[in-house]
A and B are shown apart, each in its own frame.
Chain A
Amino acid sequence: MKSSFKAAILFVLIAVTGYLAFYYAPIERSMGVIQKIFYLHISCAFSAFVAFGTCFYANLRYVFTREAKSDWLGVSAAEVGLAFITVVLVTGPIWAHPVWGIWWTWDARLTLTFVLGLLYLSYLLLRSMIEEPDKRALFSALFGIFAFLDVPLVYFSIRWWRTQHPQPVILGGPGSGLEPRMRVSYLLMWGALTGVLILLVSARYRLEALRASVEDLRREAEVR
């Protein structure tokens, strides 16, 4: 399937999920309309976890196999995950300001999410500083494995510590959960964002494969 066709399908899906979030899902009783940010914010957070999980898997695989393809997947997933976590860090304060009266607070969940963004930004900066491809791949894979340790900390932070951030609504145990129309809207939004994630990771992977071809061709040109 052509990538422009896939992008068109995703565009329609995103429009449908946007419609569901705004018109189909009911307005939450205590927060009002501002709660609708939740559909994008939480879906992006879960998609970022999927991206960082993929990066972790690729990094582990690179350490054991030294396959260039694992390195390409690692950097692609890390960069796309960073885009998703940036959306989380931007939409969170937009929700927080009318609800809490402040844009930001250094509680466990917010701080650990901010650190997560910084860790994967450092992962990409580290790659840009190492010229030799094998060394770059190995060092960044080891750093990526370390960076992933923050993901479970972000996920469990609201379960382990008292935080300003709301308690879990999804998979939060007894008493938690979503109203059925909210659940449908949320799951479809997450599905659409997973499509965006796959589209972006595959485009970024093609970029890395092409970069490797350029490096090979340059070496060949230098030899001559």
Chain B
Amino acid sequence: MKNLDSVLAAYLAGWAIFFVYYISVAQRLSTLREEVERLKALLTKGR
């Protein structure tokens, strides 16, 4: 089928953008969770 490769490329690119963005949010969330735990531990130690 003519241009089927372009259609597949468009769908793959579209879903790849969402997937990469979701991974970036998940990574930032995990870094911040670790930071919250670290700060909480620091504050508890200081008491």
Contacts and interface: CB of A to CB of B under 8 A. Distances in A.
Interface of A: 14, 18, 22, 32-34, 36-37, 40-41, 44, 80, 83, 86-87, 90-91, 94-95, 97-98, 196, 199-200, 203-204, 206-207, 210-211, 213-214, 217-218, 220-221, 224
A98 B6 contact: yes
Interface of B: 1-4, 6-7, 9-11, 13-15, 17-18, 21-22, 25-26, 28-29, 32-33, 35-36, 39-40, 42-43, 46
Nearest to A18: B11
Contacts, number: 90
Q: Which 9 A-B pairs have the closest CB atoms?
A: A217-B39, A34-B3, A94-B10, A210-B32, A91-B10, A87-B14, A83-B21, A37-B10, A203-B25
B3 to A, nearest CB: 4
A199 B11 CA distance: 19
Contacts of B3: 32-34, 98
Contacts of B6: 34, 37, 94-95, 97-98
A200 B25 contact: yes
